[in-house]
């Protein structure tokens, strides 16, 4: 599902999913930069949201979850290397799921953190959205 999404064609991210946790990694290069030469904030959000989303959706087996809100704290600039974001579920109730994520650079320095709120959608997890059960 993740690797088939058109928005991932250029980034070529890797994804690892466990129960209530997920890790996303992708390379940072000039194509991710803003005018001042650092990674644009949208990519920080992208890493954090993807990691938190898949941590949440690891607990929801029937429908696609949607991000309903996400708070991002940008802490340190990054201009090259691999960004690694790890997401974990912090609260799972039937109506709203909460997950936090931390992004780090190659040196293990924290570059951003965020907390997301997610809700169950009506979109079923099946082949039509590229979903495959392991």
What is the mean pLDDT of the segment spanning 68-83? 96
Q: Does the pLDDT at position 130 exceed 60?
A: no
Question: Measured between alpha carbons, how far is 46 from 50 in angstroms, rounded to an integer?
Answer: 6
> Which is higher by pLDDT, 17 or 63?
17
pLDDT in tens, 52-62: 999 999 998 88
Provide the pLDDT for residue 131.
53
**In CATH, what number does 6-129 get?**
3.10.129.10
What is the mean pLDDT of the segment spanning 45-68? 93
Q: In the chain, where are the structural domains located?
A: 6-129
Question: Measured between alpha carbons, how far is 24 from 26 in angstroms, rounded to an integer?
Answer: 7
CB-hemisphere CA count at 13 Å for 44?
26
Question: Measured between alpha carbons, how far is 105 from 50 in angstroms, rounded to an integer?
Answer: 16
pLDDT in tens, 26-37: 999 988 899 999
Answer for the pair 115, 71: CB distance below 8 angstroms, yes or no. Answer: yes
What mean pLDDT, rounded, does the chain reach?
Answer: 89
pLDDT category at 84 given cuts 50, 70, 90 is: very high
Residue 3 neighbours by CB under 8 Å, 6+ apart: 13, 15
Q: Considering only 22-26, 29-33, 124-128, which range has the smallest mean pLDDT?
A: 124-128
- Please list the residues that pair with 21 across neighbouring strands: 18, 88
Question: Measured between alpha carbons, how far is 87 from 102 in angstroms, rounded to an integer?
Answer: 7
pTM greater than 0.85: yes
What is the mean pLDDT of the segment spanning 45-71? 93
């Amino acid at each position: 599902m993740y690797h088939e999404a058109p928005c991932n064609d250029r980034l070529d991210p890797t994804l690892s999913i466990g129960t209530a946790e997920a890790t996303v990694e992708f390379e940072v290069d000039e194509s991710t930069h803003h005018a001042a030469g650092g990674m644009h904030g949208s990519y920080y959000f992208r890493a954090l949201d993807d990691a938190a989303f898949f941590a949440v959706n690891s607990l929801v087996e029937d429908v696609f979850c949607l991000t309903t809100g996400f708070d991002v704290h940008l802490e340190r600039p990054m201009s090259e290397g691999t960004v690694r974001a790890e997401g974990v579920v912090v609260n799972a109730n039937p109506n709203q799921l909460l997950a936090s994520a931390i992004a780090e650079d190659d040196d293990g320095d924290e570059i951003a953190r965020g907390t997301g709120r997610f809700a169950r959608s009506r979109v079923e997890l099946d082949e039509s959205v590229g979903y495959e059960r392991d």
